[in-house]
Amino acid sequence: MKLYDFKMAPNPRRVRVYLAEKGIDVEMVQVDIPAGENLGEEFRAINPRSVLPTLVLDDGTVIDESVAICRYFEELHPEPPLMGTDAKSRAVIESAQRHMEWDGLMSVAEAFRNANPAFDDRGISGSTGVPRIPDLVERGRASTERFFASLNDNLGQSTYVAGEDYSIADITAFCVVDFAKWIQIRAGDQHPHLKRWYAEVSARPSSSA
């Protein structure tokens, strides 16, 4: 089994943090996204979508998308539970996790990718010939600011993103908040609940994965 990874990217990091929380060791293979290694023939032969992370099982099965990879390991290693324990908690965590992706991760990615000359013809992940659009940078930044405000409000109501238990929704949110530093957005004094939560999750050993 191999996990194709790039240490500076938020999506692969989500899986690494998840695996660290579970205490699972997987062989890692680094693929340099800025250098375009994920778009080369060697990696396309493994995953034609050219996205990271990508998990290749011993039988050759290829699984991409961060949450799908985590789901695979959740089924094999249910303790500690990071995706819920019953119908209600699973649905609540899945909903929160999707909010963190769509409202947070996508907003930061829009600003980051469209501002970065390294992605001149890679405006969409895993693709070439798609020009970045600098005019989208400010929209991504504004959406990220709204996400930070919403997340702060949410964390004023509960200890963690999806309730009183740490979950995959917290992992995604943590990686989004760190990713936002690349577009010069950080939690400020107007985000006391977010700052409280961020200090707690940053102190977990998995945060350095």
Q: What pLDDT digit, counting tens, does each position of 117-175 carry?
A: 989 988 888 888 899 999 999 999 999 999 999 999 999 999 999 999 999 999 999 99
**Is the domain of 17 the same as that of 55?**
yes
Provide the pLDDT confidence category of residue 48 given band limits of 50, 70 and 90. very high
**Is the domain of 65 the same as that of 99?**
no
Kindly provide the residue ranges of all beta strands, DSSP E only, lying in 31-145, ordered along the sequence: 54-56, 62-64
Provide the pLDDT confidence category of residue 21 given band limits of 50, 70 and 90. very high
Asked if the structure places residue 82 within a domain, the reply is no
Query: In which domain, by residue range, is 126 found?
Result: 87-208
Please tell me the distance from the alpha carbon of residue 35 to that of residue 92, in angstroms, as a whole number: 38
What's the pLDDT tens digit per position in 56-96? 999 999 999 999 999 999 999 999 999 999 999 999 999 99
**Is the domain of 95 the same as that of 177?**
yes
> Which distant-in-sequence residues (6+ apart) come within 8 Å of 26 by Cβ?
1, 2, 3, 19, 55
Phi-psi region of 201 (alpha: psi -120 to 50; beta: other; left: phi over 0): alpha
| Residue 71 confidence (pLDDT) | 98
Partnered with residue 30 across adjacent β-strands are 5
Q: What is the CATH number of the domain that holds 159?
A: 1.20.1050.10
Sign of CA dihedral 72, 73, 76, 77: negative
Residue range 179-200: mean pLDDT, rounded: 98
Asked if the structure places residue 178 within a domain, the reply is yes
Residue ending a domain, choose from 76, 107, 137: 76
**Is the domain of 197 the same as that of 141?**
yes
Partnered with residue 64 across adjacent β-strands are 54
| Residue 201 confidence (pLDDT) | 98
Asked if the structure places residue 158 within a domain, the reply is yes
Asked if the structure places residue 81 within a domain, the reply is no
| Residue 35 confidence (pLDDT) | 93
| Residue 124 confidence (pLDDT) | 87
| Residue 171 confidence (pLDDT) | 98
**Is the domain of 118 the same as that of 65?**
no
| Residue 146 confidence (pLDDT) | 98
Provide the whole-model pTM.
0.96
Kindly provide the residue ranges of all beta strands, DSSP E only, lying in the chain, ordered along the sequence: 2-5, 27-30, 54-56, 62-64
What's the pLDDT tens digit per position in 94-104? 999 999 999 99
| Residue 125 confidence (pLDDT) | 87
Asked if the structure places residue 141 within a domain, the reply is yes
| Residue 129 confidence (pLDDT) | 87
**Is the domain of 38 the same as that of 104?**
no
- Least Cα distance to 194 among 100, 108, 111, 131 occurs for 100
